[in-house]
Amino acid sequence: MAFVDALELPDEVGHHLMHMGFVPDARVIVIRRAPAGDPTVYSIDGFEIALRRETARSIKVRPVEEGS
Amino acid sequence: MSDCCTTETIDIKVEPRIPGKIRTVALVGPPNSGKSTLFNRLTGLRQKVANYPGVTVEQHVGKLSGIGRSDLMLIDLPGIYSLDSYSEDARVAVDVLHGRMPGTPEPDAVLLVLDSLHLRRQLMLAASILSLRLPTLILLNMSDLMETRGGEVDTLALAQELGAPVARISASRGTGLDAITHFLDRKSEPDVPRNTGRLELPVLGNARSYRQWATGISTRTKYKAPLSSEWTRKLDRLLLHRIVGPLLFLVVVIAVFQVVFSIGQPLSDGFGELLNGAGDRIGAYLGHGWVESLVIDGIWKGVASVLVFLPQILLLFLFIGVLEDSGYLARAALIADRVMRSIGLNGKAFIPLLSAYACAVPAIMATRTIENKRDRFATILVAPFMTCSARLPIYLLMIAAFIPNKPILGDFFGMRAAVMLSLYLLGFLAALATARMLKSSILKTASAPFILELPQYRLPTLRSLGLRVFDRGKVFLKQAGTIILTVTIVLWILSHVPFHATLPDSVIGRVGHWIEPVIRPLGFNWKIGIGLLSSIVAREVIVGTLGTLYGADSLGLQAALHHDLTLGGAMALVVFFAFAMQCTSTLAIVRRETNSWKWPALQFAYMSALAYVAAFATNQIILWLGH
């Protein structure tokens, strides 16, 4: 589990992802990987969205601190 | 991005409308919100499907007869997450809502469908729609599911927050729809004030402020998200399992093909016999003469040769529909993504390409699930390389005539099976190579990431499946039908002019003779030339044409061909058919889906050139090997 920090992606793609839930401070959980190991399914805002590693790499997250 | 935020422009354009009077209603909603189900429920069978002008986005329009308001028109907009112009879909939606889409009237009211199971994110779309200041009714779909799963929302408070009426509905069950009637009745009367500016909306175009706004509203309306469907997760644990997942995927694929061929083939055969029988009976009325010949040999047989594929095509549409509506299509895309990526496509291209093994037409229409336009076009362009069922008659004929049935691996796998398998492989490899080539040249994608939403599993409803099959079948018949009719009539005239000429003496026969020098290096004679020309309508037509030219039935034809062609020529012919674009229906559908003649023309030229070169190589190699 982690929080979205920033999206280091071109504006167009970034905004699209934000509308799909990847906004700063949103909580992301890794649900599972595809049988071939990639893409990975993330749960965000109650939705399940799969992203390839190359895209996910550009989404910066910070870990959830203890107690929060 | 830039044009989404200039809402001022619409205020100027409001003028031509009669204030308060509703004639056109737009249906808006994010993907997977049940929007199409609602559209089907509200319009029923009386809907029209076409492409928006200049783009490849499909437009569904229908009369609101489902709620007894046939005087109103409902426009179904493509599913969108926001009004940002990220995709062609969103750009079309913005244009329609602003009344800038040629041929589409500016909507007077908006029905906004939101999935109440995921209201918080869906509210982000509501913000941009409400900022358009059109009379809007917000429909919380799947509210029955929300309640059973312990979700809650204060509908009244939500209506106050949004400054627009809110209703709970269930599109799949058809409950709560009277709210739409009330809304439209009230708004149809003049002098209903529009939303005024008091509504507090987020900074347009800023996703972060949208999110804060949506969170604020969902808190104030006491929205409690329902528990996520337990069995979706459980099912995914199995269906996306490292080992079981791909195996089940394989089982699904094989089952689909088994059904398409074991049920579809006899259905097609039966349907074909029915059409021929009807043709004979009509022919008997017309007597013998050129009218009978034009109607029966020309139009009827030509159209029938394409119509026989209808049962298989409809069955495929049904299966693709089940996969899509149930939610499995997204999982299949997830499983296949890794493999598809190696040829420069993404997982969503897998099911369409697979369907192309039965028929390229439904495959090409199924590419609509691929959002990225370049990926979609690449998939459309390579789909006809997959060995479709129309290639089987000529494959079977030539293999039976030329390949001895010698066993290679015991009794199960003989020489004939090996040749057949090689032909399948050949088409597949051509598709892979072409996809790679396209994706590294004219259809190169800059930085469009693969984003795949996995919807919750749902049981597909018979109603929506039926409508989908009906709708797709109609599009196929209309698009392919008109072009096929033209081509068959032209081909008939060419093969009957001058009058009383036999086929070899007709225009087409002469062209066949005339092109003989061109096709001789492939090992073909003029009869094959005529066969190739006549099979431009549909691949399997060549078998009938050769039958006529050689004046023989099936077994006689095998013997005649064996006598008339070399092994090189025969193999060159099947290789030619593996690559060539001998299918008018496919060309018609590609034109429709790409909205231009450029792509089908390119496809035809490329595939024909490839077919020629490959057939030439095949013939020369076999000659060189000493046959």
Chain A residues close to B371, C-beta within 8 Å: none
Query: Which of B207, B243, B335 lies nearest to residue A19, judging by beta carbons?
Result: B207
Query: Which of A15, A20, A35 lies nearest to residue B240, judging by beta carbons?
Result: A35
Taking the CA of residue B287 as centre, how many other CA atoms within 13 Å lie in the half-sphere pointing to its CB?
2
Tell me chain A's radius of gyration from C-alpha atoms.
12
- C-alpha B361: how far from its chain's center? 7
**Residue B414 contacts A, CB cutoff 8 Å:** no
Chain B residues close to A9, C-beta within 8 Å: 449
- C-alpha B299: how far from its chain's center? 26
Partner-chain contact B1 A11, CB within 8 Å: yes
d(CA A25, nearest CA chain B) in Å: 10
d(CA B245, nearest CA chain A) in Å: 7
Chain A residues close to B450, C-beta within 8 Å: 39, 50-52, 55
Domain that holds residue A52: 2-63
SS3 state at B201: coil
Write down the pLDDT at residue A21. Answer: 83
Write the DSSP string, B473-532.
HHHHHHHHHHHHHHHHHHHHHHHH-STT--GGGSHHHHHHHHTHHHHGGGT--HHHHHHH
Which residues are within 8 A (CB) of B539 and not within 5 positions of it... i.e. 6 or more apart?
A: B388, B390, B391, B393, B394, B577, B582, B583
Establish if A29 belongs to a structural domain: yes
- Peptide bond before residue A39 is cis, with ω within 30 degrees of 0: yes
Establish if A45 belongs to a structural domain: yes
Chain B residues close to A17, C-beta within 8 Å: 451
Partner-chain contact B453 A34, CB within 8 Å: no
Write down the pLDDT at residue B18. Answer: 55
The β-bridge partners of B138 are: B112, B166
Q: How is residue A29 annotated by DSSP? A: E
Partner-chain contact B118 A45, CB within 8 Å: yes
Partner-chain contact A19 B125, CB within 8 Å: yes
- Which domains occur in chain B, in start order? 2-227 (3.40.50.300)
- On whether ipTM exceeds 0.90, the answer is yes
Write down the pLDDT at residue B85. Answer: 66
3-state secondary structure labels for all residues of B41-85: HHHCCCEEEEECCCCCCEEEEEEEHHHCEEEEEEEECCCCCCCCC
Nearest CA in chain B to A9: B447
**Residue B337 contacts A, CB cutoff 8 Å:** yes
Chain A residues close to B205, C-beta within 8 Å: 15
**Residue A8 contacts B, CB cutoff 8 Å:** no
The number of domains in chain A is 1
Both tokens of B131, joined, read 């900022």
Establish if A46 belongs to a structural domain: yes
- Give every residue of chain B whose pLDDT is below 70, as ranges: 1-20, 85, 187-200, 203-205, 446-447, 627
3-state secondary structure labels for all residues of B112-176: EEEEHHHHHHHHHHHHHHHCCCCCEEEEEECHHHHHHCCCECCHHHHHHHHCCCEEECECCCCEC
Exposure pattern of B399-433 as b/e (b: 16+ CB <10 Å)? bbbbbeeeeeeeeeebebbebbeebeebbbebbbe
Cα dihedral across residues B168, B173, B175, B178: positive or negative: positive
Chain B residues close to A45, C-beta within 8 Å: 118, 120-121
Distance from C-alpha of A26 to C-alpha of B203, rounded to nearest angstrom: 19
Q: Which phi and psi (to 5°) does residue B114 adopt?
A: -125, 145
Chain A residues close to B449, C-beta within 8 Å: 9, 13, 51-52, 54-55
**Residue A24 contacts B, CB cutoff 8 Å:** yes
Write down the pLDDT at residue B447. Answer: 56
Which among B75, B110, B76 is positioned nearest to B183, based on CA atoms? B110
Choosing among B118, B454, B456, which should be mutated to test the A contact, i.e. which has the most A CBs within 10 A? Answer: B454
Q: Which H or E run includes B541?
A: helix B541-550
Distance from C-alpha of B80 to C-alpha of B26, rounded to nearest angstrom: 13
Write down the pLDDT at residue B20. Answer: 58
Contact map slice: B 302-331 vs A, CB within 8 A: 330
Choosing among B329, B334, B373, which should be mutated to test the A contact, i.e. which has the most A CBs within 10 A? Answer: B334
**Residue A30 contacts B, CB cutoff 8 Å:** no
Query: Which of A21, A31, A36 lies nearest to residue B338, judging by beta carbons?
Result: A36
Which among B429, B393, B405 is positioned nearest to B574, based on CA atoms? B393
Query: Which of A11, A39, A46 lies nearest to residue B337, judging by beta carbons?
Result: A39
Write down the pLDDT at residue B14. Answer: 32
Distance from C-alpha of B364 to C-alpha of B304, rounded to nearest angstrom: 22
Q: Which H or E run includes B606?
A: helix B598-624
Both tokens of B450, joined, read 């693969």
Chain A residues close to B118, C-beta within 8 Å: 45-47
- C-alpha B337: how far from its chain's center? 20
Nearest CA in chain A to B211: A23
**Residue B242 contacts A, CB cutoff 8 Å:** yes
The β-bridge partners of A7 are: A59
- Peptide bond before residue B498 is cis, with ω within 30 degrees of 0: yes
d(CA B41, nearest CA chain A) in Å: 26
Distance from C-alpha of B541 to C-alpha of B493, rounded to nearest angstrom: 16
**Which of residues B211 and A27 earns the better pLDDT score?**
A27
Partner-chain contact A37 B125, CB within 8 Å: no
Say how many CB pairs under 8 Å bridge A and B: 115
Q: What's this model's pTM, rounded to 2 decimal places?
A: 0.83
d(CA B609, nearest CA chain A) in Å: 37
Which residues are within 8 A (CB) of B382 and not within 5 positions of it... i.e. 6 or more apart?
A: B353, B430, B431, B432, B434, B435, B438
Both tokens of B197, joined, read 């500016």
- Please state at what angle helix B415-439 crosses helix B373-382, rounded to 10 degrees: 150
Partner-chain contact A37 B246, CB within 8 Å: no
Place of tokens 């083939």: B265
SS3 state at A13: helix
Establish if A68 belongs to a structural domain: no
Chain B residues close to A42, C-beta within 8 Å: none
Partner-chain contact A38 B338, CB within 8 Å: yes
Q: Which phi and psi (to 5°) does residue B307 adopt?
A: -60, -30
* CATH number of the domain residue A39 falls in: 2.30.30.90
Contact map slice: B 99-138 vs A, CB within 8 A: 117-118, 120-121, 124-125
**Residue A54 contacts B, CB cutoff 8 Å:** yes
**Residue B210 contacts A, CB cutoff 8 Å:** yes
Distance from C-alpha of B577 to C-alpha of B540, rounded to nearest angstrom: 10
**Residue A56 contacts B, CB cutoff 8 Å:** no
Helices and strands, number each (H, E), in chain B? 29, 10
Write the DSSP string, B550-588.
HT--HHHHHHHHHHHS-HHHHHHHHHHHHH---BHHHHH
- Cβ-based neighbour number of residue B279 at 10 Å: 18
Cα dihedral across residues B123, B129, B133, B135: positive or negative: negative
Amino acid symbol at B499? F
* Angle ∠(B248,B254,B257) on CA atoms, nearest 5: 145
Write down the pLDDT at residue B65. Answer: 87
3-state secondary structure labels for all residues of B323-362: HHHHCHHHHHHHHHHHHHHCCCCCHHHHHHHHHCCCCHHH
Write down the pLDDT at residue B536. Answer: 86
Query: Which of B205, B241, B447 lies nearest to residue A13, judging by beta carbons?
Result: B447
